[in-house]
Amino acid sequence: MSDINRYHRQMLFQGIGQEGQAHLLSKHVLIVGCGALGSSSAEMLTRAGVGNITIIDRDYVEWTNLQRQHLFTEDDVHQQTPKAIAAASKLKKINSEIDICPVVIDATAENLAFYVQEADIVIDATDNFDTRFLINDLAHKYRKPWVFGACVGSSGMTFTIIPGQTPCLDCLLKVTPMFGATCDAVGVIGPAVQMVVTHQTTEALKLLLEAKHKINSKLIIFDLWNNHYQTIDVSRAKRTNCTSCGQAPTYPHLSYHSRTKTEVLCGRDTVQIRGKQYPLEMLESKLAHYGEVQANPFLVSVDIDEKRLVFFQDGRTFVHGTNSIEDAKKLYYQIVG
Ligand SMILES: [Zn+2]
């Protein structure tokens, strides 16, 4: 049952009010990625009463996530719960009055196009530039604002991208050196994540409420450990010949990305194989020959020697413990035949 007191403090806030609150309930946000950035953004927007939240993530919860990724628990680690599912189950307990849709997939040009079209805005909570460029092209193709966010170590950066107005991610990268463009091995602290999320979700609320004059037009960069905060005017970075946001866009990342079949996951010592979809029960019995199988409704996994194989419902397989595509494929085909 709806309790109006839930949003009382937010409705007192001048920027939102009663009308704005009703507006938020009619809006749809797509969050791509449900790690540190995504789980926190999702919680913030769930509590704020955004009516429809779709969360896409390809991964499951592991021990190394708990240090900074909100919503997840040790139980989720033990059960190898997909992050989107684990997050959604907590979010539904926080706010049962909104729709939360978890999607366990690896974002590709094909599958992400549908979700971007459905949403009012997109929040970038990914950990890689391949997916960010995909979001960038789709957001411009379907004219959806999106909020870029990244963090590494104690640093972070965010930027609000509005098709037809601001420079896009591709334009931005031509003028600003971006960290996170390569595999990071320097770790990350929770506060840096929260700082990025704070900026991203505030911008998301402004976009949803069409508070156009309040949108931050600058690139925000900070380093919490070294007490460095900076906002940079990047408006002149927009290029008329940009292939994503220019006058004759070709959206190059949409065709490039769909070709990627097998890849090494950045900084994860893991290879992801996109293969045929097999019924999980079938895989479970095949894997039983190799060792103790762990299964839930979304994936099955087994440890073989120093490697762990995780088969997802959508036909993807993670081979943890290697950066060799050749080794990963050999093991994969040994099992699926
Ligand atoms: Zn551009």
Q: Report how far ligand 1's centroid is from the alpha carbon of 158 (Å).
A: 16
Q: Report how far ligand 1's centroid is from the alpha carbon of 239 (Å).
A: 6
Q: Report how far ligand 1's centroid is from the alpha carbon of 137 (Å).
A: 9
Average pLDDT over residues 292-320: 94
Range name among 128-132, 167-171, 183-187, 328-332 with the lowest pLDDT average: 183-187
What pLDDT is recorded for position 107?
A: 93
pLDDT at 257 over 70: no
Q: Report how far ligand 1's centroid is from the alpha carbon of 163 (Å).
A: 9
Q: Report how far ligand 1's centroid is from the alpha carbon of 140 (Å).
A: 9
Q: Report how far ligand 1's centroid is from the alpha carbon of 169 (Å).
A: 6
Q: Report how far ligand 1's centroid is from the alpha carbon of 54 (Å).
A: 26
Would you tell me how many other CB atoms lie within 10 Å of the CB of residue 120? 17
281 membership: H or E segment, kind and range: helix 280-287
Average pLDDT over residues 164-192: 82
pLDDT at 186 over 90: no
Q: Report how far ligand 1's centroid is from the alpha carbon of 247 (Å).
A: 10
Q: Report how far ligand 1's centroid is from the alpha carbon of 241 (Å).
A: 8
Q: Report how far ligand 1's centroid is from the alpha carbon of 165 (Å).
A: 10
What pLDDT is recorded for position 175?
A: 81
What pLDDT is recorded for position 259?
A: 55
Q: Report how far ligand 1's centroid is from the alpha carbon of 238 (Å).
A: 6
Q: Report how far ligand 1's centroid is from the alpha carbon of 56 (Å).
A: 25
Range name among 164-173, 178-187, 298-307, 327-336 with the lowest pLDDT average: 178-187
pLDDT at 152 over 70: yes
**Which 3-state string (H, E, C) describes 75-90?**
HHHHCCCEHHHHHHHH
What pLDDT is recorded for position 180?
A: 56
Confidence of residue 128 (pLDDT cuts 50, 70, 90): confident
Confidence of residue 181 (pLDDT cuts 50, 70, 90): low
pLDDT at 1 over 70: no
Q: Report how far ligand 1's centroid is from the alpha carbon of 217 (Å).
A: 15
Q: Report how far ligand 1's centroid is from the alpha carbon of 119 (Å).
A: 21
What pLDDT is recorded for position 258?
A: 55
Average pLDDT over residues 313-330: 94
Alpha-carbon span 100 to 167, nearest angstrom = 31
Alpha-carbon span 321 to 307, nearest angstrom = 5
What pLDDT is recorded for position 261?
A: 79
CB 161 within 8 A of CB 145: yes
Phi, psi dihedral angles at 243 (to 5 degrees):
-75, -10
- The residue ranking higher by pLDDT, 259 or 317, is 317
What pLDDT is recorded for position 53?
A: 98
Q: Report how far ligand 1's centroid is from the alpha carbon of 172 (Å).
A: 7
Q: Report how far ligand 1's centroid is from the alpha carbon of 174 (Å).
A: 9
CA dihedral 197, 198, 204, 207 (to 10 degrees): -150
Q: Report how far ligand 1's centroid is from the alpha carbon of 266 (Å).
A: 25
pLDDT at 179 over 70: no
Question: pLDDT digit string (tens) for 82-121?
Answer: 999 999 999 999 999 999 999 999 999 999 999 999 999 9
What pLDDT is recorded for position 255?
A: 86
Q: Report how far ligand 1's centroid is from the alpha carbon of 131 (Å).
A: 16
Q: Report how far ligand 1's centroid is from the alpha carbon of 147 (Å).
A: 14
Q: Report how far ligand 1's centroid is from the alpha carbon of 242 (Å).
A: 5
Range name among 29-43, 202-216, 245-259 with the lowest pLDDT average: 245-259
Q: Report how far ligand 1's centroid is from the alpha carbon of 129 (Å).
A: 15
Q: Report how far ligand 1's centroid is from the alpha carbon of 170 (Å).
A: 5
Angle, helices 83-94 vs 36-48, to 10°: value is 20
Cβ contacts of 266 within 8 Å, gap of 6 or more: 127, 128, 182, 183, 184
What percent of the chain is predicted at pLDDT more than 70? 96
What pLDDT is recorded for position 174?
A: 85
Q: Report how far ligand 1's centroid is from the alpha carbon of 243 (Å).
A: 7
Q: Identify any residues that bridge with 60 across adjacent strands, giving them in sequence order.
A: 82
- The residue ranking higher by pLDDT, 172 or 184, is 172
pLDDT at 182 over 80: no
What pLDDT is recorded for position 138?
A: 98
DSSP code for 185: -
Q: Report how far ligand 1's centroid is from the alpha carbon of 254 (Å).
A: 15
What pLDDT is recorded for position 200?
A: 98
